[in-house]
Amino acid sequence: MNGFYILAHDSNKLQETLDIVNNALKDCELNHQDDKFYSDSYGSGLLLRGVLLHFLRRYNEAHEAFDQLIDMSKEFDEKSLLAPNALLEKAMVYIDLKQKSKASEYLQKAIECKDYQLESRLHFRINAAMQRLKQMENDSSQNDESCRTIPYSDPIGSNIGFYQILQEFDGSDEILVTESRWIPTVSDPMSDLVGSEA
């Protein structure tokens, strides 16, 4: 799935690729349901669909694709990597949505899967996702600390009565300093997601 990060900044290419995957899934449903490897082929298509929808920020549709794949897991060979990958990708959507408890839940489910193809490779991705989740928690606790009341002194020594507002940029979040409080500013939570994956 890492190859899709190359397309992450090009929504047109992502949509074109999604159209190809959707057409392949339709063909699989219409013409190949009796094939020996139908479930694996269809499941692979669902995984690709979910990842592409995630990159297109169509999160509900991505969850639907991953859920459908997870529901099919009993139809796959016991060593299939599809369900564990779907669990990880579902966690990745929750990470991007800043839903830490749901992300942690699905990462744990992915870890609990055992003895499937390319397990060690997926564990690298799971560990990276867990580190990202831990970083989110650290950032969150630092932001909580930065919202505390701090003393303010007028650097010019004037008593103008206006609040002096300074803007600091720390590389990830904007913070305004006013006369009495640190105030985190609201920014688009999605603006930095694509770049952080590259």
Give the separation between CA 141 and CA 143, rounded to whole angstroms: 5
Percent over 90 (pLDDT), the chain: 51
Q: Order of strands across the sheet with 182-184?
A: 166-169, 174-177, 182-184
Q: Report the amino acid identity of residue 34.
A: D
Percent over 70 (pLDDT), the chain: 70
User: What is the tens place of the pLDDT at every residue in 136-193?
Assistant: 888 877 766 555 444 433 333 333 333 333 333 333 344 333 343 344 444 434 444 4
Give all domains of the chain, ordered by start, each with its CATH number: 2-145 (1.25.40.10), 147-198 (no CATH)
